[in-house]
Structure 1
């Protein structure tokens, strides 16, 4: 029913899965597969060059595979006895696992981890080579049509494989000792030997800022998996991450921003995408394994398989009858989803790759004293560059701070404690767009920490952030500055003072009108936070927030519309806000009804009901009369009454009763506000059973 080309799930490093051939496989088919498998492994001539560690062991393994390849070629075409299937099957499994191991040893980004797990790597390799010896011993070599040279070589290989005594390269041992020495120095708050660290990085072929970043990214991903498991492994991963963070910050200062410029531009595009587009139309979860069916629609693999297996042979979206029940992986969508998950710190592992967020709570403390020491030394170095570096060094330091503070609470606390915030605020007035962008993004990350918010506010940085919202040199700087205001507005004292700054709310309203998706999104949530202070309601009305929000009710992005309705609900609680909403557009009520009818979000529907209920409370018959004439409103309200959460159901019931009372009254005063409905009116609502 499914396509043959669906890829297997990702494999954890040094896990060596293999699929055994079926028992009924013919010897000739098995031999053909072995030839292909051995050629795939032995043709990787570049593996030793890409393996900075364990080179002797890797070469020895490749020598074994080359001899086996010759052996397979020598018996190809000859009649093989059925008794050969067992030995050949064992070789098939062993070669699969050996291929995984060699690829892991040459894996980009995993070099330091492989070095520090040398014992495990060599142990796995010994087991695999001895598995080769076992399989060769099981094979009936005397019954095979082998040339004498090949027979002698295979017999010698079997004896050597049994006795294989793989040991670490001396250079690997020296490199591992340099790592342990550096970690001990970090634990004692002493800078490590720079010469030793440079030699270590040369040994690992970590030659650039980007190489170091790849190593850090790999370790952080591994740490995510191990953080709830083996504590010893988590400590090792944390130590190695701290070491590489220190190296990247202090030893690769020349190419930091430049080396990452294009990937960061790609990240900015990815970060502005609407995650609703990644959801499977069947399950409504973000797709873990997107596949495309014959109609061109894309679904999550597990969901469409269940759909087809249930006997449904139509496209769930279009209703079109499927020409074929096969589907193919949509690698383009998969790549975009993976990039989106990485950009937003979402784990891509598991059956629902978009549903499991990284648990930042586990980053509030370091894994060990060594990891803490390495981080603090890197932080001190970077803050020093912000203070006394050249313009280029300040930009690179801000960029590094931006990265290190993105997904670690401990890192954020370290930067705040090191007085990083004032220097980053100083960079907001720079004429260089890249430097300003990096500084704003770094401040955004620090504003997520309570001490970071306090630091920004207490040094008078709020005005500089507002200036960045209105006059930022890049769109990304403006939208990130708006996000900073959102985090600052989470503190009651701060939101009041932010609102009193003359340009604060107008800057957000302007971004709401002119910004891109992420800019609008951040401006909306920042406005919502500021409106929690009663004094900011009138300021938002004066700045034209109601008109800007109402104009977005027709936007195609549902999450943006729901956020807008949430802010309108807050504004409508006051008479001035309700009047401004009604004056914003003659079709505002119709737009609200449309959102209520079409929204799939419970909170969005509740916000719609709240807005209309507040408008009825504030403006009376003028609003109720218009709502009563909208035929689509009542079914949508009854849906909320019957199936919404209690709070939303209560609001919807009140709005229904308003409309019923207006309909029943013959002499309703057109200018007066409606009084609250009497308790008896509740009986008019039909409850679903």
Structure 2
């Protein structure tokens, strides 16, 4: 079990034993004082987010104390050390331990904002510690004689006496005057102002934000991410312990209240880790095979390999040139991801794609603070979207870009955006004359359409016609492709599917995109058409729009490129699947059967296809043609020499459904030729059937 993290401003110290010899105690004190005094040389004090003046004074006192301790002669071990000497040095040892921990907390990376907002509490702790140092020095000064006790006798060394008195006076004066710096209070007020404006959905004052960031020293997005992770961990730990400090641990009401709060929290990641660290910086999705590149950054293997394969030889995060393309598996990150998956009820032996799918479909945040932050961000962003109608194009681009990024994260982010009412405003921005605004708005709607409530909000806002128009006239090719993908997600609902199919331009627009678009546009158009053909009325519109000719062209061209490993083979399979669905209706079957060249190519495709799904779609299409077009198609099929071997292979090795259709086709072809060869008036041979039935 991992050791528990020390709480901020919890200052544990080890008290020296009563029988300790002065020599090791002095050596330990010299080391502690040197550590604290060394902060000045390292310039760490000037980088503190708060209490810089008080910390400088504490470091200066530690320097004086170091000079004082260095001048104390070590008592002879044979002599008994005075009790007052051991007592004073022991008190000083405890105070210096706590002072070192306190200054380390104030300089802790990732906790700078916490320190700023708790500057008064840190100042109180520092005040107590400086008082403890002053008290210890008073113990070492014998008030009755005015000398410093060393080695059991009064020291006549005036320098040691002067240093001891100087340390005592400075420590008392610093403790009495210690207050947070005025700049600390101003920056803390700025943080509260920013939070209050966020809570009310108002844009924070830029000057307040700049002041806070400058005071705290946050210069990069990574710094902000570390701060958020620390605050989240601190909040959850306080909820679990049931107390905000180490006092009142027996307060039953506080403990019960905290336990009830924890019970209401959704399941979360149990490790003290920012969950965003498990997301690939390229795809912003949960990594399933984390690997580390030479710059030390971790990515999902598939995304970084695609990045390198595209010709980019720089690290996506740092921008450094990758001297080597070697990818080292990050075993530690993989173990953490597996624990996360198990905590979400996802078995770790499932394929990686199912891991990502299962986690993305979990509409729960990683903690209460994260949930509140996401809801505030969604509400703030929606307010920005609603106010950019008359704003410059640059503001529209920024707002829609943020919506696009936020909606890409996971289901919880999408749910918050939908609840905040972002869908109608994104639809409104589809009419923008700026191509980037259009592209961002369509991409955001695509991400939101993956969520059922997002699809419902889109339809209720009257967005179906706008999406169809975007497929047709959007300025960017990517926007047209994404709009076609939106129609695919919408077609998963039969009611929405019927509404889309009734839009006059919907199916012709998709058919044109399948004919003229790039690979991704064609792919999205084909899957959207496949979904729309759930409606029987859509078959006639697809045939009228020339879908059969387009699909035949994709199949004829794509099948020949499949052997070369091009994307056309994938499109050929989609085209055959779509032709099979079209042929389920008589009108579609007749349109397919009208081209004997297409039927011949289908038989060749059945024999050449390597995948089981391709064979199943192809035999389903041929069976539909035989059922709806009768003898005309059966006569043509019987003349094609490659058909029967392929059908018998499916009967022997195919799926039950494919085997059933292949068997039906074989029997129907035999029946057709048997009827042609046997006159109607001739008696049936007594020997039985002339053809073996299968």
TM-score by length of 2: 0.52
- Quote the residue 1:607 is aligned against: 617
**C-alpha distance in 2, partners of 1:410/1:168?**
37
Distance 1:237 1:351, change over 3 A: same
Distance 1:351 1:495, change over 3 A: closer
| Equivalence map 1:541-552=2 (5 Å) | 541-552=543-554
Distance 1:204 1:654, change over 3 A: farther
**C-alpha distance in 2, partners of 1:649/1:185?**
65
- Quote the residue 2:655 is aligned against: 645
Counterpart secondary structure, 1:172: coil
Distance 1:544 1:456, change over 3 A: same
Q: Note if 1:562 corresponds to 2:564.
A: no
Distance 1:407 1:648, change over 3 A: farther
Distance 1:621 1:491, change over 3 A: same
Q: Note if 1:452 corresponds to 2:454.
A: yes
**C-alpha distance in 2, partners of 1:236/1:193?**
31
- Quote the residue 2:371 is aligned against: 372
| Equivalence map 1:64-79=2 (5 Å) | none
Give aligned pairs, total. 415
CA RMSD of superposed structures (Å):
4.6
Distance 1:631 1:373, change over 3 A: same
- Quote the residue 2:602 is aligned against: 592
**C-alpha distance in 2, partners of 1:210/1:171?**
17
Give yes or no for contact 2:269–2:366 (8 Å, CA) kept in 1: no
**C-alpha distance in 1, partners of 2:615/2:628?**
20
Deviation string, structure 1 residues 217-256 (Cα, Å, up to 9, x no partner): 9xxxxxxxxxxxx945467525x789x9xxxxxxxxxxxx
Give yes or no for contact 1:235–1:368 (8 Å, CA) kept in 2: no
Give yes or no for contact 1:486–1:526 (8 Å, CA) kept in 2: yes
- Quote the residue 1:503 is aligned against: 505
**C-alpha distance in 2, partners of 1:379/1:177?**
24
**Given the alignment, which residue of 93, 103, 114 partners 1:177?**
114
Shift of 1:330: 7.7
**Given the alignment, which residue of 642, 661, 672 partners 2:671?**
661
Relative to structure 2, which stretch is displaced further, 609-618 or 623-632?
A: 623-632
- Quote the residue 2:157 is aligned against: none
Distance 1:501 1:358, change over 3 A: closer
**C-alpha distance in 1, partners of 2:213/2:273?**
18
- Quote the residue 2:406 is aligned against: 404
**C-alpha distance in 2, partners of 1:331/1:587?**
50
Deviation string, structure 1 residues 301-325 (Cα, Å, up to 9, x no partner): xxxxxxxxxxxxxxxxxxxxxxxxx
Q: Which runs of 5+ in 1 are unaligned?
A: 1-55, 61-163, 218-229, 245-259, 268-285, 291-328, 335-345, 670-679
- Quote the residue 1:237 is aligned against: 274
- Quote the residue 2:385 is aligned against: 386
**C-alpha distance in 1, partners of 2:517/2:226?**
33
Give yes or no for contact 1:662–1:668 (8 Å, CA) kept in 2: no
Deviation string, structure 1 residues 444-473 (Cα, Å, up to 9, x no partner): 111111111111111111111000001111
- Quote the residue 1:102 is aligned against: none
| Equivalence map 1:434-583=2 (5 Å) | 434-554=436-556, 555=558, 556=561, 557-583=568-594
Distance 1:633 1:435, change over 3 A: same
- Quote the residue 1:622 is aligned against: 632
Shift of 1:660: 2.4
Distance 1:202 1:624, change over 3 A: farther
Deviation string, structure 1 residues 554-588 (Cα, Å, up to 9, x no partner): 313333222211111111011110111123x4411
**C-alpha distance in 1, partners of 2:596/2:116?**
69
Shift of 1:205: 7.3
| Equivalence map 1:266-345=2 (5 Å) | none
Distance 1:374 1:331, change over 3 A: same
Give yes or no for contact 2:268–2:367 (8 Å, CA) kept in 1: no
Shift of 1:623: 1.1
Q: Note if 1:428 corresponds to 2:426.
A: no
Distance 1:201 1:357, change over 3 A: same
**C-alpha distance in 1, partners of 2:471/2:429?**
14
| Equivalence map 1:1-40=2 (5 Å) | none
Give yes or no for contact 1:288–1:354 (8 Å, CA) kept in 2: no
Distance 1:288 1:393, change over 3 A: closer
**C-alpha distance in 2, partners of 1:582/1:475?**
34
Shift of 1:659: 2.2
Give yes or no for contact 1:235–1:367 (8 Å, CA) kept in 2: no
Counterpart secondary structure, 1:587: helix
Higher relative contact order (CA 8 A, sep 6+): 1
- Quote the residue 1:315 is aligned against: none
Shift of 1:177: 1.8
Shift of 1:207: 3.9
Which has the higher Rg, Structure 1 or Structure 2?
Answer: 2
Counterpart secondary structure, 1:684: coil
**C-alpha distance in 1, partners of 2:690/2:660?**
13
Distance 1:429 1:613, change over 3 A: same
**C-alpha distance in 1, partners of 2:541/2:628?**
19
Give yes or no for contact 1:558–1:599 (8 Å, CA) kept in 2: no
Counterpart secondary structure, 2:114: helix
**C-alpha distance in 1, partners of 2:659/2:207?**
69
**C-alpha distance in 1, partners of 2:398/2:507?**
32
Counterpart secondary structure, 2:365: coil
